[in-house]
Amino acid sequence: MPKLPKFLQFASITKKITLALIGLFLMLFLLTHLGINLCLLRNDGGEWFRAAAHFMGTNYIVKVFEVVLFGAIALHILLALTIQIHNWRARPVGYASGSKSKTAFGSKLMIWSGLLVALFLCIHLVNFWFAKVGWNEGRYLIKVSAIEKAYKVKQQALSDAFIKTETDEERMQIEADFVAFQDGLEFFQTNEKLSDALHGGFDYITDLSKAEIREITAVLPVKYEPDFYVMVRDLFQNKWIVLMYLFFLTALCFHLMHAFQSAFQTLGMAHSKYTPIIKVVGVIFALGVSVGFAIIPIFFYFCK
Ligand code: HEM
């Protein structure tokens, strides 16, 4: 058998324990992700969801967490594949008598349901996360308070520069910059979406295209972020995408159903008293998470 990379050469049980611990961590992520996503269902035009997404997108601890999360997902997949390939090589003709047991069937499904979840993650990241890192074009939003702040900073910078001018030439240049700045601001008044948000007392200017973002940032260097509410709403108008999500969420349900119980078993919690409880909690968790996520595409397809 060819040798594994050095960092994966630790004992099989250590691999399994690491896999189980990462799995439990990923389940916690799923619960958090579901909690935030359920805000999408609130009838508030996306206010709660945008506030949560803004926090998740700007908080530094969350940013570090995101790196840890991606590392955990990669390691989880790598360890699962390593263990599975090792098992296949060790038992090329399959199980002898145990193959018909429910557990053996459940474990066999794990790798395939897991691979489907991994495929789902790739598609899902392209749908949303790519827009955040700029690899895909999405829809965007700008906080009105960020525009007000950027406006004050720019105005202050121009008046500071004006005070510091020494020659007529410099003064004329700043005056020209100031006029250009005022002309640029015209755009905020003439663009319906912008002026509505600025005068209507809204917190955000939403559903902006990349072209609109370019026009705005040419006048004011203001921070913008993806408008995930609009992106979710638009994505789930497509029947095929909704069906695809439901298919993958079914795979996730199968994966979690076995994973929950299997993780606790690996961590040594197999006990005649607790195992049945763990199994029931696992089924409730798997169904709760999958159905919880599935409601979102269905809701947006039929109700938005
Ligand atoms: C169908 C319901 C779902 C919706 C509406 C949804 C929505 C989103 C959105 C808007 C983002 C971008 C957030 C950001 O980058 O700040 C995101 C990221 C992500 N989603 Fe989902 N998601 C759903 C289901 C899932 C499921 C079932 C999984 C896991 C199996 C998952 C895993 C992830 C991961 C790993 C990220 C990137 C990490 C992050 O940025 O938080 N999502 N999702």
**What domains, with CATH codes, occur in the chain?**
6-137+231-303 (1.20.1300), 141-226 (no CATH)
State which of 116, 121, 128, 244 you would mutate to test the pocket of ligand 1, scoring each by most atoms of that ligand within 8 A of its C-beta. 128
Atom of ligand 1 nearest to the CA of 73: 35
pLDDT at residue 302, as a whole number: 97
Atom of ligand 1 nearest to the CA of 120: 30
Q: How confident is the model at residue 97 (pLDDT cuts 50, 70, 90)?
A: very low
Q: Atom 41 in ligand 1: which residue has the minimum CA distance?
A: 66
- From 157-161, 195-199, 203-207, 210-214, the region with the lowest mean pLDDT: 195-199
Cα-to-centroid distance, 33 and ligand 1 (Å) = 7
Instruction: Provide mean pLDDT across the span 16-28.
Output: 96
Q: How confident is the model at residue 18 (pLDDT cuts 50, 70, 90)?
A: very high
Q: Atom 7 in ligand 1: which residue has the minimum CA distance?
A: 37
Pocket of ligand 1 (CB under 6 A): 30, 33, 37, 53, 56-57, 66, 69, 117, 121, 124, 128-129, 132, 228, 232, 245, 252, 293, 296-297
Q: Give the tens place of pLDDT for each residue, 38-55.
A: 999 999 999 999 999 999
Q: What length does the chain have?
A: 304
Q: How confident is the model at residue 278 (pLDDT cuts 50, 70, 90)?
A: very high
Atom of ligand 1 nearest to the CA of 56: 16
Taken in order 294, 296, 299, 304, is the CA torsion positive or negative?
negative
Q: Are strands 204-208 and 140-143 parallel, antiparallel or unpaired?
A: antiparallel
Q: Across the beta sheet with 140-143, what order do the strands follow?
A: 204-208, 140-143, 225-226
Q: Give the tens place of pLDDT for each residue, 103-124.
A: 567 677 899 999 999 999 999 9
How is residue 127 annotated by DSSP? I
Q: Give the tens place of pLDDT for each residue, 152-161.
A: 898 899 999 9
Helices (H) and strands (E) in the chain, counts: 12, 3
* Residue 202 · residue 31 · CB < 8 Å: no
The Cα–Cα gap between 239 and 301 comes to: 7
The Cα–Cα gap between 16 and 22 comes to: 10
Nearest CA-CA partner of 278 in 260, 252, 292, 299: 260
Q: How confident is the model at residue 98 (pLDDT cuts 50, 70, 90)?
A: very low
Instruction: Provide mean pLDDT across the span 222-236.
Output: 96
